[in-house]
Amino acid sequence: MDDTIAAISTSSGVGAISIIRVSGEESINIVNKIFKGKDLNKVNSHTINYGHIKENEKIIDEVLVSVMKEPNTFTKENVVEINCHGGIATTKKILELLLLNGCRLAEPGEFTKRAFINGRIDLLEAEAVMDIINSKTEKALTLAINQLSGNISNLINNLKQKELKILSNIEVNIDYPEYEDIEVLTNEKILPSLKELEEEIKKIIKNSEEGKLIKEGINTAIIGRPNVGKSSLLNLLLEEEKAIVTDIEGTTRDVVEGKIVLGGIVLNILDTAGIRKTDNKVEEIGVQKSIELIEKSDLILFVLNNNKKLTEEEINIIEKIKDKNYITIINKCDLENKLDIEKLNLKNIIYMSTLTKEGINELKEKITEIYNLEEIENKDMTYLNNARSIALLKESLTSIESAIENINNDFPIDMVEIDIKESCLKLSEILGENYNENLLNELFGNFCLGK
């Protein structure tokens, strides 16, 4: 943290401008060595300064240099940003000069990591930086901005403060039982507060599962026997010829992917190999991938052929997906009906023809209904949206539930206190108030360079 780091913050390639970011105690001094213009050590903070980058007396590029002095910067260190022309050679040359004059190449996400370590942002806000970059829909962007603004952090911190208040009252009673003016705190007196906390955390978790959905999308697998119209369905949903469609069974042998946005949520759609017994080694691998995707997917689009009788493989698929979110698609409904499904307990049945496009709107409406996408549209976006923080909040809830159970079983109040402390600890972990270096390395290692 004592060294000065530098990295290219804009994506590589030809463009109008490139930005090289520098952060650290010596950032202004180092940039000043290669800058021809005003003395950067004497300019005011948060100013943009015109000049040139030079190597010895040779002009490398015409630039604008932003100087931001500590502590009022993103990293709370001296920060300089060099705006140069967007050529690959020019940008790399300026970075090279910075490294030769005392900078170290920044690690992925190191600027944001420094902002976190220096107390500029908490861990939730740090995660939101990458979420903004990766947002694929307007909803996902709104969710990430809400998290970066500190709204989510305030939500978690409010829970923590309520738990700390209960803990302080418990500790006063334990440490100073002789004081007459202190209200004796019994299990029965803290039970209502704990139940209120329990309901509040449960509500946040429920909403946060929707937040994860907005951020990551719905992983949707198209499953069925060969030649039932899976690839045609993918093409119809994507409105493009993404997958090869033929009358030959087993044409799709690997997973074909595509994305659509429905109700502001991304559907990550996977067209899979037709599930059947086969002697072809390549097709067999594809079939195995299809079976594995049933477990991994959030939503199954199970396609049946209206013009064919039900097969043993399809009955096996029905058994595998019975506990999943799935929609049964009876395709080729423009042909003669030979499919008997009356005795089967199938749900969410949609009749379609991928040839005539009949039923495609009904399918989209059913997905919207299953995931309450219209309800999500009108909801406040103040909730968690990643697996790490949701998992920790669930652990916090488990500790509160344990405290309530212990009260009901007449455990001593100091035993109840242990559970509440554990819950509070998990809330602190969400905010990053207690962390280990491995967690930070893993989290910020997923960031891009220069961020």
Please compute the mean of the pLDDT values over residues 403-427 and round it to a whole number: 91
Q: How far is CA 378 from CA 140, 263, 374, 375, in A?
A: 14, 11, 7, 6
Count the Cβ atoms, other than its own, within 10 Å of residue 271: 27
Q: What is the pLDDT of residues 320-350, one digit of tens each?
A: 888 888 999 999 988 888 888 877 788 899 9
The packing angle between helices 138-148 and 187-216, to 10°, is 140
245 confidence band (pLDDT: 50, 70, 90): very low
Count the Cβ atoms, other than its own, within 10 Å of residue 25: 14
Q: What pLDDT score does 84 carry?
A: 94
DSSP 30-66: HHHHTEEES-TTTSPSSEEEEEEEEETTEEEEEEEEE
Q: What pLDDT score does 247 carry?
A: 46
Please compute the mean of the pLDDT values over residues 23-31 and round it to a whole number: 96
Write down the residue that tokens 């997905």 correspond to: 367
The packing angle between helices 187-216 and 151-175, to 10°, is 160
Token digits of residue 424: 């509070």
> Amino acid identity, residue 347?
K
Q: What pLDDT score does 381 carry?
A: 64
Of the listed ranges 9-13, 172-176, 179-183, 399-403, the least confidently predicted one is 179-183
> Contact, 328 vs 352, CB < 8 A?
no
Which of 300, 314, 272 shows the shortest CA–CA distance to 367?
300
391-416: string of b/e by CB count within 10 Å (b at 16+)?
A: ebbebbbebbbbbbebbeeebebeeb
> Contact, 306 vs 333, CB < 8 A?
yes
Alpha carbons within 13 angstroms on the beta-carbon side of residue 254 total 3
Cis bond leading into 71, ω under 30°? Answer: yes
Q: Which residue has the higher pLDDT, 253 or 242?
A: 242
* β-bridge pairing 79-86 and 15-23: antiparallel
Q: What pLDDT score does 179 carry?
A: 46
Three-state secondary structure readout of 210-259: HHHHHHHCEEEEEEECCCCCHHHHHHHHHCCCCCCCCCCCCCCCCCEEEE
> Contact, 106 vs 448, CB < 8 A?
no
Which neighbouring-strand residues pair with 104?
A: 5
Count the Cβ atoms, other than its own, within 10 Å of residue 175: 10
The DSSP code for 291 is H
Please compute the mean of the pLDDT values over residues 125-140 and round it to a whole number: 84
Residue 42 main-chain phi, psi, to 5 deg: -105, -5
